[in-house]
Amino acid sequence: PALRESARRSLVISSAQRTQRRVLPVAPPTATRDFAPNRTIKDAGRQETLPGKTVRAEGADATADPVVNQAYDWLGVVFDFFEKACRRDSIDGAGLPMISTVHYGEGYDNAFWNGEQMVYGDGDGTLFTEFTGPLDVTGHELTHGVTQFTAGLEYYGQSGALNESVSDVFGSLIKQWHLGQTADQADWLIGQGLLAPGVRGEALRSMKAPGTAYDDPQLGKDPQPADMAHYVNTYRDNGGVHINSGIPNRAFYLAAAAIGGHAWERAGQIWYGTLTGGKLPSTVDFAGFAAATVDTAGTLYGTSAAEVTAVREAWTGVGVHV
C-alpha cells in the first residue's frame, strides 16, 4: 500500500473540467512539467543473480555491448511514452528509477518485471533471440510495474489475464508511438523479431488475431483464444494469464481500430484512465474491466460519444457483454 500511486488525481476532475475535455478530448501531449528518466543498466554476466553489476548509468556514454545500449535506449522510449502520452512520471508516477539487468542466465528464454526492476534473458538462440530486441517486450515488462503501482491486478485468472493484457496493450502502444503508426498501420504483434530463425511464426502473440502468432514443432501452437466462446480453463500459467489475455487484447484492438487514428490518443487514454483511475478492484474480471472502460470513455469523451460505442462494441465483439 505504501507503494500505491499518489497520482490518482489525474482522473478526478471537476464537472467544469469535464465539459472542457469534451471539447478537447485529447489532452495536449506536452506536459506542463518535464520529467527526467533515471536509468541504470546492470549485467548479470550469465548468472541468475540479481541485480548484477552496473554497466551504464543515466547520462553515461554507450558501452561496447549493444545489448546494454539497446536496453538503455528502450527504457528511454518507454519513459518518454508515459511522460508525453500519459503525463506520467516513470513507472510509479513519482520518478521511480528504472533498473534493468541484461544477460540474465544462460540462454534464458524470457524477460520479466520482478516487482522492483526489469530482467532480460539472452534467449537460447534456438527458440528465442535476445529479449532486449523488441521495444514492445520492454514496454510490456515495465507496464507490469505501472499496473503494480496502480490497479494492482491480481496475477491469477481473469484479473491476471487483464494484467497481462494491459502489458501487451501498452507494449504495443509504445511501439506504435515510437514508429508514429496509426491503428491501421500497426502490426498489433507482441515480440515481433523475438522468434529465432527457423521457428515457424512471426511473434509471441497477436492482438488482432490471437491464436495465430506461431505454429511450430518445438514451440507448439499459439494457444490464445480470440473470444469468450474459446476461453481456456486451466490451472497452468496462473490460470491461463498469458492465454486468455488474447480476449481483452483483441477487445482493445477492435476499439482502437473502430476509433481510428493513433491508438494511444483515445483508446489508449481510455485504458490508461481505467487502469489508473482508482476504481478497479484488484480481482476485477473481464466484465468488470469492460464496464470500467465504457465508464472511463464516457467520462473522457461524453456518454453519447462515438468512443463509448466503439468500446462497448469491441467488448461485445469478443463475447464480453456490457
Q: Which does 101 bind (CB under 5 to 8 A by kind): ligand ASN, Zn ion, none?
A: none
111 versus 292: smaller Cβ distance to ligand ASN = 111
Q: Is 110 in the site for ligand ASN (CB under 6 A)?
A: yes
> In degrees rounded to 5, what are phi and psi of residue 39?
-100, 140
Strand 53-57 to 111-113 pairing: unpaired
141 among known catalytic residues:
yes
Residue from 141, 222, 295, 307 binding ligand ASN (CB under 6 A)? 141
Of 137-196, which residues contact Zn ion (CB under 5 A)?
Answer: 167
Contacts of 52 (CB under 8 A, 6+ apart): 42, 43, 44, 45, 101, 102, 103, 104
Q: Is 114 in the site for ligand ASN (CB under 6 A)?
A: no
d(CA 75, CA 296): 28
Residues 57-76, one symbol each (x = binds Zn ion by CB under 5 A, - = not), give --------------------
Q: What is the DSSP letter of 169?
A: H
Q: Which does 111 bind (CB under 5 to 8 A by kind): ligand ASN, Zn ion, none?
A: ligand ASN
d(CA 94, CA 157): 30
Q: What is the DSSP letter of 92?
A: T
d(CA 120, CA 52): 12
Q: Is 212 in the site for Zn ion (CB under 5 A)?
A: no
58 among known catalytic residues:
no
39-47, 53-61, 70-78, 140-148 -> range binding ligand ASN (CB under 6 A): 140-148
d(CA 160, CA 242): 8
**Residue 113 CB, nearest approach to Zn ion (Å):** 7
Annotated catalytic residue, options 144, 242, 262, 307: 242
What residues line the site for ligand ASN (CB under 6 A)?
110-112, 140-141, 144, 164
